[in-house]
Chain A
């Protein structure tokens, strides 16, 4: 088949183009023709269809996401924000941190192992592209019902893929979530977060500046894998009958990525490049047009120079391929040899494929024939934007009226506790997390199951960062505005209880189809809630990702905003862990407990009930708690601290007891059921050495935080006075048997 060139497009203006099959609307196609002054070539059409897809253009979400910028509190820490590969936060004069969370949901359902593996690979390259050395990863995961046969296919594959890729890259996995809910049965969520560290003056950018500079592609060869990953390119229309050969899931090679990391860092360190962009979704198409658009320059690219895995690939396939482990560099001609030399030392392929121009056009040739001639900004920045209709879900009023607080209460609290701690969402996740290396790089101070992961970023001073990712989709289903705020509050609190100061936010917004007004309403409410919450807390959203179309048939997943909060801790030696470590410490509850069971684990596990309104969230209280925890960490007044969330106080006591095998003896108020299982927000369980009680209470009084003395640590049982006693062995068996029983 002959190649569709620009020349040919000009001479055959009426040739029918398969724009609809590629997911473009008629008016979108007409706009492309207007921009180009002719019909697009096959390659150009492929590029527009990818770059104007929901995934790349954020066309449905953009008008909502801009709140993150508009409502963002002023922050002199933010060196790069939304729109960059990842947000960058200054930690001090010399060091900065970059972090972001992204989704890889659909590929992980189709092929769990590779889908999840390449999810890790993709986010790591985003961090790398900012100039940082990646230092840790985290994975918030959502699966269907734990006992569903398909979960037994998806979960082990996803976990094996994350471990296989991250372990081989040498990145500690320091936290995340594993949550089960039937709403994810046909659409699991695999989100991946990466954090990296860079000297402030090594911050990179993606602009392809300097006409005459060389465009270098480095990393793995380009293959047919991943074509159509972000759009519907792999339709039958392009090349009838030959499409079966294109799997739309990419295949990862962590070894190449590891070499790519080391090569990139050497290039940055020696100041050998002027611009860098990773290749992820939309592959070369995105990297070429975004780098040129960011600089307002143009580019002449000889596409046949790209190293291919399959010689028969056509230009539109090369442009659309999402083959993993590739980076694009802009290099001054005088540094080209040095760049190629670094690549050869690490054994990575690097190829000059083009040159930066001042034409304002990205021109791509294929063996001498021009197949693409476009203004890059029209792809990268000027995609369509939609204000899609919003409508509150019709069932929401009834759902909210059906409150869990009116459900029959249990009579046997001991049995309730044992049932809850063994339930899939509250049980021990060791089966998953021990498949991840959490020690590599030697700077992991805290990792799962702690409230936050903490990484030391300066071995001299002990400076560190804390990270937590959280989200509760049942809360968000009941009230997307408050659900998103609760996710933010929990991640914020998880960082704060370790003694770190929360400073920035990233988010991954997983929703159903934006074309469903009810889903779009959930999305709009969640974004509004998150933006308002960040404004109240005074910390900015620095970047993130939107994942739409998470649904099976007409049924969307529960709306699932995942929120990641980054904190800074001046001295990691002062971090506060979650587990009880000494006998005889005093146990205090900070915060107040209300009768709040709607959306709770108790309601779900014991009644399969979802209804009512989620717990109230009060950011003033969260801030007071955070300030208090930072102060007590500084003064060394608290031996352990654990945030209360799903499963309430009973769950927090269980986890703190079992962490190091030290029991507790507590007294709760008259309403033991509420005290133990309510999921009220803004609460923390702390253990205080008895000799520090006065100093501790003095700091509490300064901050006016509600304080309840619960009891003491010690012994080999969890004892709730006048209610029950559970030996730790029995508690541990209940808590830790669930996942091994399900998954082997």
Chain B
């Protein structure tokens, strides 16, 4: 299975996302922001970083990249898309996901290991987790505070679109402790913490992040997705 990892100018965790895909058993394919061709990939990861410097608003420029047009189209046809950190911000800016990511309430960049509870295993990226499973991964962001109006938040709750919540402490002030959400169809997921940095015992706080990448591979091979 081929999983594309997009490199925007300023993407930083692109090689890490590709490594995670490989460790999970997939083939990582590098996609370039200026190239609208998705090169036949079966899924796409938008990695962390500071696309275009994020000087305007995180993800605000990246959403206009040629590759994003193709991804938006393919996503509407069911292509699994995972946005991590800056990727989550881009998905919100591109209106593939509702809400927005704003500055952390304490106004500082924060890198720490973090407990997260998986609330929905009914997505292309979380099928390998149990609902309610707590995983130990990490956050590293300056603008990770998820916000939306009450109506949208209620809708996300009601539809089961909240994929993960921070537990044992909310690191950035996110509304309703939201760490990750999905679109209605469940193929597009945005997550603020970094599962791709929890895939190797030597470099991560745990191996708990690997499930995102094994899940999508199973999903693609018609495996264990729970609907």
Question: Is A386 engaged at the interface, CB distance under 8 Å to the other chain?
Answer: no
Measured between beta carbons, the chain A residues less than 8 angstroms from B48 are 440
Q: How long is the Cα–Cα vector from A291 to B15 in the complex, in angstroms?
A: 34
B12 near A440: Cβ-Cβ < 8 Å: yes
- B-facing mask of A433-468, CB < 8 A → 1, else 0? 111111111111100000000001001000000000
Q: How long is the Cα–Cα vector from A573 to B19 in the complex, in angstroms?
A: 18
Stretch at the interface among B38-46, B66-74, B107-115, B156-164: B107-115
Stretch at the interface among A164-172, A211-219, A478-486: A164-172
Question: Is A55 engaged at the interface, CB distance under 8 Å to the other chain?
Answer: no
B111 near A442: Cβ-Cβ < 8 Å: no
Partner of B12, one of A170, A346, A459: A170
| Complex interface residues of chain A between 644 and 672 (CB less than 8 A to chain B) | none
A569 to chain B, nearest CB (A): 12
Q: How long is the Cα–Cα vector from A445 to B200 in the complex, in angstroms?
A: 10
Stretch at the interface among B49-57, B118-126, B127-135, B178-186: B49-57
Question: Is A259 engaged at the interface, CB distance under 8 Å to the other chain?
Answer: yes
Q: How long is the Cα–Cα vector from A209 to B177 in the complex, in angstroms?
A: 60
Partner of B55, one of A255, A346, A433, A456: A255
Measured between beta carbons, the chain B residues less than 8 angstroms from A442 are 13, 15-16, 19, 196-197, 200, 203
A437 near B140: Cβ-Cβ < 8 Å: yes
Measured between beta carbons, the chain B residues less than 8 angstroms from A346 are 9
Question: Is A333 engaged at the interface, CB distance under 8 Å to the other chain?
Answer: no
Which residue of chain B is the closest to A253 with respect to CB atoms? Answer: B53
Q: How long is the Cα–Cα vector from A440 to B9 in the complex, in angstroms?
A: 16
Partner of A443, one of B112, B196, B203: B203
Which residue of chain B is the closest to A743 with respect to CB atoms? Answer: B108
| Complex interface residues of chain B between 180 and 216 (CB less than 8 A to chain A) | 194, 196-197, 200, 202-204
Partner of B109, one of A163, A258, A444: A163
A160 near B108: Cβ-Cβ < 8 Å: yes
| Complex interface residues of chain A between 231 and 281 (CB less than 8 A to chain B) | 253-256, 258-259
Measured between beta carbons, the chain B residues less than 8 angstroms from A441 are 15-16
Question: Is A587 engaged at the interface, CB distance under 8 Å to the other chain?
Answer: no
Q: How long is the Cα–Cα vector from A438 to B48 in the complex, in angstroms?
A: 14
Question: Is A347 engaged at the interface, CB distance under 8 Å to the other chain?
Answer: yes
B16 near A258: Cβ-Cβ < 8 Å: no
A53 to chain B, nearest CB (A): 32
A434 near B112: Cβ-Cβ < 8 Å: yes
Question: Is B223 engaged at the interface, CB distance under 8 Å to the other chain?
Answer: no
Q: How long is the Cα–Cα vector from A436 to B108 in the complex, in angstroms?
A: 10
Question: Is B82 engaged at the interface, CB distance under 8 Å to the other chain?
Answer: no
Question: Is A572 engaged at the interface, CB distance under 8 Å to the other chain?
Answer: yes
Measured between beta carbons, the chain A residues less than 8 angstroms from B16 are 439-442
A254, A255, A256, A572 interface centre (most CB from chain B within 10 Å): A255
Question: Is B10 engaged at the interface, CB distance under 8 Å to the other chain?
Answer: yes
Measured between beta carbons, the chain A residues less than 8 angstroms from B112 are 430, 434
A434 near B9: Cβ-Cβ < 8 Å: no
Q: How long is the Cα–Cα vector from A169 to B54 in the complex, in angstroms?
A: 12
Measured between beta carbons, the chain B residues less than 8 angstroms from A445 are 202-203
Question: Is B28 engaged at the interface, CB distance under 8 Å to the other chain?
Answer: no
A436 near B111: Cβ-Cβ < 8 Å: yes
Measured between beta carbons, the chain A residues less than 8 angstroms from B12 are 168-170, 258, 440
**Contacts A259-B9, A437-B140, A439-B194; A572 near B202 (Cβ below 8 A):** yes
B224 to chain A, nearest CB (A): 27
A439 near B50: Cβ-Cβ < 8 Å: no
Q: How long is the Cα–Cα vector from A160 to B140 in the complex, in angstroms?
A: 14
A168 near B111: Cβ-Cβ < 8 Å: no
Measured between beta carbons, the chain A residues less than 8 angstroms from B196 are 442
A439 to chain B, nearest CB (A): 5
Which residue of chain B is the closest to A167 with respect to CB atoms? Answer: B109
Measured between beta carbons, the chain B residues less than 8 angstroms from A437 are 109, 111, 140
Measured between beta carbons, the chain B residues less than 8 angstroms from A434 are 110-112
A255 near B203: Cβ-Cβ < 8 Å: no
| Complex interface residues of chain B between 81 and 116 (CB less than 8 A to chain A) | 108-112
How many residues does chain B have at the interface if contact means C-beta atoms less than 8 Å apart? Answer: 29
B50 near A168: Cβ-Cβ < 8 Å: yes
Which residue of chain B is the closest to A447 with respect to CB atoms? Answer: B111
B105 to chain A, nearest CB (A): 12
A255 near B10: Cβ-Cβ < 8 Å: yes
Q: How long is the Cα–Cα vector from A163 to B204 in the complex, in angstroms?
A: 20
Question: Is B5 engaged at the interface, CB distance under 8 Å to the other chain?
Answer: no
B128 to chain A, nearest CB (A): 21
Which residue of chain A is the closest to B197 with respect to CB atoms? Answer: A439
Partner of B111, one of A160, A438, A443: A438
A168 near B10: Cβ-Cβ < 8 Å: yes
Q: How long is the Cα–Cα vector from A434 to B108 in the complex, in angstroms?
A: 9
B9 near A347: Cβ-Cβ < 8 Å: yes
Which residue of chain B is the closest to A436 with respect to CB atoms? Answer: B111
Measured between beta carbons, the chain B residues less than 8 angstroms from A572 are 202
A264 to chain B, nearest CB (A): 15
B203 near A435: Cβ-Cβ < 8 Å: no
Measured between beta carbons, the chain B residues less than 8 angstroms from A573 are 202
| Complex interface residues of chain A between 550 and 602 (CB less than 8 A to chain B) | 572-573
Which residue of chain A is the closest to B34 with respect to CB atoms? Answer: A345
Partner of B140, one of A430, A439, A443, A459: A439
**Contacts A259-B9, A439-B140, A442-B19; A456 near B202 (Cβ below 8 A):** yes
- B-facing mask of A327-354, CB < 8 A → 1, else 0? 0000000000000000000110000000
Q: How long is the Cα–Cα vector from A440 to B139 in the complex, in angstroms?
A: 11
Q: How long is the Cα–Cα vector from A545 to B74 in the complex, in angstroms?
A: 53
Q: How long is the Cα–Cα vector from A168 to B202 in the complex, in angstroms?
A: 24
Question: Is B138 engaged at the interface, CB distance under 8 Å to the other chain?
Answer: yes
Partner of B138, one of A253, A255, A347, A439: A439
Partner of A435, one of B10, B50, B110: B110
B48, B108, B197, B202 interface centre (most CB from chain A within 10 Å): B202
Which residue of chain A is the closest to B171 with respect to CB atoms? Answer: A434
- A-facing mask of B4-20, CB < 8 A → 1, else 0? 00000110110110010
A444 near B203: Cβ-Cβ < 8 Å: yes
B54, B55, B109 interface centre (most CB from chain A within 10 Å): B109
Which residue of chain A is the closest to B13 with respect to CB atoms? Answer: A440
Measured between beta carbons, the chain B residues less than 8 angstroms from A258 are 9-10, 12, 50
Measured between beta carbons, the chain B residues less than 8 angstroms from A456 are 202-203
Q: How long is the Cα–Cα vector from A439 to B54 in the complex, in angstroms?
A: 20
Measured between beta carbons, the chain A residues less than 8 angstroms from B204 are 439
B9, B19, B48, B110 interface centre (most CB from chain A within 10 Å): B9
A55 to chain B, nearest CB (A): 30
Measured between beta carbons, the chain A residues less than 8 angstroms from B49 are 170
Q: How long is the Cα–Cα vector from A445 to B10 in the complex, in angstroms?
A: 24
A160, A170, A254, A459 interface centre (most CB from chain B within 10 Å): A170
Measured between beta carbons, the chain B residues less than 8 angstroms from A253 are 53
Q: How long is the Cα–Cα vector from A444 to B10 in the complex, in angstroms?
A: 20
Q: How long is the Cα–Cα vector from A309 to B121 in the complex, in angstroms?
A: 52
Measured between beta carbons, the chain A residues less than 8 angstroms from B109 are 160, 163-164, 167, 435-437
**Contacts A170-B12, A255-B50, A347-B9; A439 near B202 (Cβ below 8 A):** no
Q: How long is the Cα–Cα vector from A444 to B204 in the complex, in angstroms?
A: 8
Q: How long is the Cα–Cα vector from A256 to B108 in the complex, in angstroms?
A: 22
Instruction: Name 25 A/B residue pairs within 8 A (Cβ), A-sorted.
Output: A160-B108, A160-B109, A164-B109, A168-B50, A168-B53, A170-B12, A170-B13, A258-B10, A259-B9, A259-B10, A436-B109, A437-B140, A439-B111, A439-B138, A439-B194, A439-B197, A440-B16, A440-B140, A441-B16, A442-B13, A442-B16, A442-B203, A443-B203, A445-B202, A572-B202
Q: Given A167-B50, A168-B50, output 18 extra A-B contacts at Cβ < 8 Å.
A: A163-B109, A168-B53, A256-B53, A258-B10, A258-B12, A346-B9, A433-B111, A434-B110, A435-B109, A436-B109, A437-B109, A440-B12, A440-B13, A440-B48, A442-B196, A442-B203, A444-B203, A445-B202
- Taking Cβ atoms with an 8 Å cutoff, the residues of B that contact A are 9-10, 12-13, 15-16, 19, 48-50, 52-55, 108-112, 138, 140, 142, 194, 196-197, 200, 202-204
Identify the 9 closest CB pairs spanning chains A and B, nearest first. Answer: A255-B53, A170-B12, A442-B16, A439-B197, A168-B50, A437-B140, A435-B109, A163-B109, A434-B112
